[in-house]
């Protein structure tokens, strides 16, 4: 098995040079073996700053975007975090090194089951993956300090916003059709009071679900 650490360090240095400054996010990405979240024939390109195919027409997100989203969510060591669109489980693994507990939901059974098996094998014991429609969140595990949606929503799913604690942050790409997708940070200020900030233009696969 080749040593991927130099490639991983280079990837993280590039992410830092692109403006991500949060030390805990960068340290977590330096530690998680991204190559283990890809099919074996793709391990050589695992640390390129690009989205890569993981099957079922889905992708593992671009590392810089993963880092930006995690940094924007402002996650502390005691946080409980939900990721909707867990895909390969890579972002869940990174989050599990930053937060106390991480929940991931994936709608494709084959991807979700592979991600759960991989996370268990790699020893990420504070992470849990469920197969299902994450557009309605994970009500039994709510409320969350932070929620990251890793697929583009046509509009912000109402049920998900309501699974944030007061002060919690939702990071979600919202499809604005002609204008493309906007990465939003939604902060819950009160029961019905949500602040919305647009952070960047992004490109994600669609969120498909009832919520």
Of 62, 64, 80, 135, the one binding ligand SAM (CB under 6 A) is 135
Closest approach of ligand SAM to the CB of residue 193, in Å: 26
Site string for ligand SAM, 149-188 (x = CB under 6 A): -xx-------------------------------------
CA angle 28/70/142 to nearest 5° reads 110
Establish if 209 lies at the interface with ligand SAM (CB under 6 A).
yes
Establish if 73 lies at the interface with ligand SAM (CB under 6 A).
no
Using CB under 6 A, count the residues that bind ligand SAM.
Answer: 26
Establish if 61 lies at the interface with ligand SAM (CB under 6 A).
yes
Using the rule CB under 6 A, give the single segment among 27-35, 41-49, 80-88, 163-171 that binds ligand SAM: 80-88
Closest-CA residue to 17 (of 49, 51, 50): 49
Residue 4: exposure state from Cβ atoms within 10 A (0-12, 13-18, ≥19): middle
Establish if 137 lies at the interface with ligand SAM (CB under 6 A).
no
Q: How far apart are CA 181 and CA 112, in angstroms?
A: 25
Both tokens of 35, joined, read 């190559």
Q: How far apart are CA 195 and CA 38, in angstroms?
A: 36
Q: How far apart are CA 136 and CA 180, in angstroms?
A: 24
Q: How far is CA 11 from the centre of its chain?
A: 17
Which is nearer to ligand SAM, 59 or 184 (by Cβ)? 59
110 is a catalytic site residue: no
Establish if 90 lies at the interface with ligand SAM (CB under 6 A).
yes
Q: How far apart are CA 114 and CA 129, in angstroms?
A: 10
Site of interaction with ligand SAM (CB under 6 A): 58-61, 84-88, 90-91, 105-108, 111, 133-135, 150-151, 204-205, 207-209
Active-site residue numbers?
A: 61
């Amino acid at each position: 098995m080749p040593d991927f650490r130099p490639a991983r360090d280079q990837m993280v240095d590039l992410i830092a040079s692109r403006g991500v400054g949060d030390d805990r996010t960068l340290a977590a990405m330096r530690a998680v073996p991204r190559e283990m979240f890809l099919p074996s024939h793709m391990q050589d390109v695992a640390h390129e700053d690009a989205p890569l195919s993981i099957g079922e027409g889905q992708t593992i997100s671009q590392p810089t975007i993963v880092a930006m989203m995690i940094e924007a969510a402002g996650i502390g060591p005691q946080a409980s975090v939900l990721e909707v669109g867990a895909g390969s489980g890579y972002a869940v693994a990174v989050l599990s090194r930053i937060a106390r507990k991480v929940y991931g939901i994936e709608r494709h059974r084959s991807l979700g089951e592979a991600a759960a098996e991989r996370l268990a094998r790699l020893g990420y014991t504070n992470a849990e993956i469920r197969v299902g429609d994450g557009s309605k969140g994970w009500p039994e595990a709510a409320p969350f300090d932070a929620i990251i949606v890793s697929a583009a929503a046509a509009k912000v799913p109402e049920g998900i916003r309501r699974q944030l604690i007061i002060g919690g942050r939702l990071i979600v790409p919202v499809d604005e059709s002609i204008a493309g997708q906007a990465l939003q940070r939604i902060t819950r200020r009160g029961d019905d009071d949500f602040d919305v900030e647009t952070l960047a233009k992004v490109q994600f696969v669609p969120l498909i679900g009832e919520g």
